[in-house]
Structure 1
Amino acid sequence: MLKKKLITSAITASLMMGVASTSFAATNPFSDVPADSWAYDAVTTLANDGVIDGYPNGTYQGQNTMTRYEMAQIVARAMARTDLEKADKVVVDKLAAEFAEELDNLGVRVADLEKKSDNVKWKGELKYKYVQANHDEGKDKRSNKLEFKLEPKAYIGNSGWTANAKIEYTMYPETDSNADGVEVTRAYVEGPLFGATVAAGHLPLDICQGMIFDDELSGVMVDFGSDVFNTNLTVGRYSENDHDGKIPEDKTAKDITADYYGVQFDYTPSDNLALNAGYILLNGLDDSVDLDLDVDDNKANLWYAGGKYNFDKNIALVGQYLQNTDANSYDKAGSVELQYKGADLKDAGSWGAYLGYRHLGENVTIETAYDDADAGQKGLVAGIEYVFAQNLVGSLLYFDGKDMKTDTDADTVYTSLKFKF
């Protein structure tokens, strides 16, 4: 059993810095905590921020003992706060470790408390990026953009299901102009069903370590298995119009949307090793739309395999191979990276770097997640990320290689500054 005064002191140590300036002016919710009490500021702050509750008769009764379950409730609410300073979070994490068993045993009820404390969670980023792509043969390209993204997540009761969305907006600082408008690029639900995790709607599509897709599709995705061996099944429709930017005069949007069928297997036998392999069929591709795929029978059969090996906590080797067996040319892609350390958004001063080689056949890489090289290029890549302040990270990436179609030199410089929240 624990004294409420002791618990109030412990929690106050973790929360006071972040909430004192706004909460002390609030009305005292407890009749038995006078303004001249040593606990007045702490109790008022925690109560008005929803961290502690009193009794139905409007009293706090700080002299009473409390159960470890009551303490677990308080810790859970403290953990659910999103505005804690780094030092305050360290203290809350220590409290969570102290009551780990109770939190684990109370699992569902604690999860419910976190959800009720804020039914809708928001995250997002504001990113400025500048890209300079140079070609010995062909037109040089320069991109200067400011991108804003919001990703709300709403808990659907106590079902374990969530509703998710992604909202994006782009502007061009160089010309002080906006893109066409605000876009909702994702809208889907996700949750447990028959022992699997199911997502349905307009979904994120990030597979094959991002080599093929960093995109979205409309469909259903099912994940099942364990932490060691997991299977992902995806069925849906993939729009070619997203990449071409226009619909041919004799076509409708439905005509240029392909059927998508995919499976990926992930095998993680240890903390040091993670392997993946998979297959994707895109059926019903329209050759009048510039998807950069020279394929037979309006379809693409994509096979891939790869993995990651951590030599220690600082050094890792990452590789991926991909082939489109229906492509007439440039049907293979591969990438290998040696990664060092890693930028931790919560840790100012942390950084990460990589050095690698990419070969990205244009008939097999569709909407790649790589920022350093494009489809149709091969060559060396290098990059570094640095965290200037918590949730503020800068990137500098470089590509030096060739455009495969013309076999001429090309290079790219990519820089970005991201504010995450």
Structure 2
Amino acid sequence: MSSLRTAATAKDAADPLAPLRDRFHVDDGEVYLDGNSLGALPRSVPDRLAEVVGHEWGRLRIRSWTESGWWEAPQRVGDRIAPLLGAAPGTTVVADSTSVNVFKAVVGGVRLAAARDPRRNEVLVDESTFPTDGYIAQSAAELTGCALRVLPAGEIPDALTPRTAVALVNHVDYRSGELRDLPGITAAVRAAGALSLWDLCHSGGALPVGLAEHGVDLAVGCTYKYLNGGPGAPAYLYVAPEHQADFRSPLPGWNSHRDPFGMAPEFTPAEGALRGRVGTPDILSLLALDAALDVWDEPAAEITAIREKSLALTDFFVHCVREYLPKALADGSVRNLTPERHDRRGSQIALRCPDALALTAELQRRGVVVDHRPPDVLRFGFTPLYTRFADAERAAKTLAEALGEA
């Protein structure tokens, strides 16, 4: 056994989060490092879905909206996610997709800013944002009569002007895994009189976010990555308490009405984060997510412990890559794009490699599942709830073998 494999075995034996792996359907014969795209299936989900389909839908039918708590599920599940984001109860609602929530948040944020100061007619977006955020921001800016400025996230504090209404930033860069300075950028945006809007898709459930602590105004995020909610699981929208009374969604649906069953022709918004709802919730996906969140009720599943293991996993993987691929690193054919500093790294490592798309398929053939981002980036995602140090070692060794440098 190699020294790295021995080290991985020792680290796994000492890992306080190791028992949580049994809460997921994961194959010990395969290394799954794609939880930053789709999390593994929690064992609690299939039985819960069978109950929802067989009993709540199959037998109770329409009665489940009240008797099974379907109607309150968006806010109830939102309150389960809120502590993982450092948010208070009543600030987070689960509904729709991330893209739809970005649209609500950008338009709602512009309206909030313009109500304070009509000069605020500009939206800032970081240039490396996930594409849909950019598409949505462009459309939202056009619809609200705003100009859109695209620039590096680190330049946003210096680019703020009295015209800035909203700054939309990704907390973790989806390509490189770089962790953005949420406290610093948020403070600068607030000092300039604008509103901060953070996309937490690649950080929620992987590291402490501190929405309330840092004064974030608005946030969105998906639940199918580090929260393991399943394919197409609904996203969440966060609205800070100070903005809830004045937040006006551009999609005022009957589910966000103060009296949804009153069927009034005029719209009167609900109180609090419920304004973020639109139409009838996707109950099957929503309740699958609810069951997936049960793992966070375990005492060991504390977000600071998750972050500690995430950093340990990514540190160890980078060490293994250095040991197994010295030639490729020396000649530059393999390059680490993820910052090595802990305060600048999410829960993934991105390597620039030749023929990355073909290499992704070859790694999968060898039992290591990662993903590819064009043109030449391999992403290795580490989900501390179920990823082992042995997985990190095997992934690095398999990469070396696939590149002919074993």
TM over 0.5: no
Higher relative contact order (CA 8 A, sep 6+): 2
Rg comparison, structure with higher value: 1
- Give the TM-score band, short-chain normalised: under 0.3
Q: What TM-score does the superposition give when structure 1 sets the normalisation length?
A: 0.21
Q: What TM-score does the superposition give when structure 2 sets the normalisation length?
A: 0.22
Q: Which has the higher helix share?
A: 2
Q: Which has the higher strand share?
A: 1
